Amino acid sequence: MAKKRILSGMRPTGQLHLGHWLGVLTNWERLQGEYDSYFFAADWHALTTKYNDTADIRQDTRLMFLDWLAAGVDPEQATLFIQSSVLEVAELNLLFSMITPVNWLQRNPTVKEQAEELHLAEDSMTQGLLGYPVLMGSDILAFKSDRVPVGKDQLPHLEFSRDMARRFNHLYGQTFAEPQAVLTEAASMVGTDGRKMSKSYGNDIKLADPADVVTQKVMTMVTDPQRQRRTDPGNPEVCTVFSYYKVLAPQLVSQVDTECRSATIGCVQCKRRMAETLNGALDPLRERREHFARQPDLLDDVIRDGNRKARETAQETLAEVREVMKLNVHTPAVTKSPR
């Protein structure tokens, strides 16, 4: 039986950090063997908020792909591609924009959140940002993805794509299956200062950071502020380092808890042990990164092959879409039977 298809994307924001790895990439690595997997760099999505700052978008896309490969996303098992290389997604986005009521978008939580996050005045909302959920749905439906990996909080976003599929099927006949969620657990990683990990806060630990940089960042992490002296008992629950133990070394959590509360370990020692643990976890990523860094053509080949395969898949869907919508009788012949 053919594998179910899955699709997931990430905006190219440059080098990725631990939050991306443990929140997204470990899930991709797990899912890629089980599903016919498509993972893409969402460069068009990046334009919805960064249309006036595109200087680094190509370089950021390459760096992001390198991080994916370093994290074990395997081009032998998954199709890795760049969204803007698959023009059929833009065509489907246009067709869906014809049939999507504007009030669906105006009440969509994604659009509202983005506008609030960016402190956008109503008159600076672009058509691209307002229509962002349609583009997201077009990504999913262009590839006829059966499944989409999402966290619980992202379920409403997927529901929008399901609404799009239902509306299209109602208007033109059964064409799209409604994509289902694969609920994923995302380990939440705070930054070195205890806030949400983010490049813009300067509190992130990058997957590409060398071991000495990782150690130095761990040594600056915020701990229990009440623990002033080595002999003071600490409260691990308010400590950033302890939250890393929970994710990266759960087998040590109860030991660290006891050592901290009884002041039998100092914060410096506790951080050193975490730095070693983290560097040990990142070593396999460093090896894989080195493999690709030694042969720059390899990354180009991965992207070129992925773009080609992704485009072929989306072309099949668009041929079917044009047919049911009675558009363009001179549509090129479909080479494979529709899925």
**Interface residue list for ligand SF4 (CB under 6 A):** 223-224, 227, 234, 236, 239, 241-242, 256, 260, 265, 267, 270-271
Helix (H, G, I), strand (E, B) or coil at 208: coil
Complex with ligand SF4: residue 175 or 243, whichever CB lies closer: 243
CB of 43 closer than 8 Å to CB of 12: yes
Angle at the Cα of 242 from the Cα atoms of 236 and 244, rounded to 5 degrees: 165
**Least distance in angstroms from the C-beta of 263 to ligand SF4:** 8
Complex with ligand SF4: residue 124 or 262, whichever CB lies closer: 262
Complex with ligand SF4: residue 15 or 215, whichever CB lies closer: 215
Residue 292 burial by Cβ neighbours in a 10 Å radius (0-12, 13-18, 19+): middle
Taking each helix axis as running N to C, give the angle between helix 253-261 and helix 240-248, from 0 to 180 degrees, rounded to the nearest 10: 160
**Least distance in angstroms from the C-beta of 104 to ligand SF4:** 47
Query: What is the DSSP annotation of 108-167?
Result: -HHHHHHHHHTT--GGG--HHHHTHHHHHHHHHHHTT-SEEEE-GGGHHHHHHHHHHHHH
**Nearest CA to 67 among 171, 170, 199, 161?**
199
**Least distance in angstroms from the C-beta of 261 to ligand SF4:** 8
Complex with ligand SF4: residue 97 or 235, whichever CB lies closer: 235
DSSP assignment letter at 24: I
**Least distance in angstroms from the C-beta of 231 to ligand SF4:** 12
CB of 271 closer than 8 Å to CB of 241: yes
Complex with ligand SF4: residue 208 or 278, whichever CB lies closer: 278
Complex with ligand SF4: residue 73 or 274, whichever CB lies closer: 274
**Least distance in angstroms from the C-beta of 266 to ligand SF4:** 7
**Least distance in angstroms from the C-beta of 113 to ligand SF4:** 33
| 195 CA to centre of own chain | 20
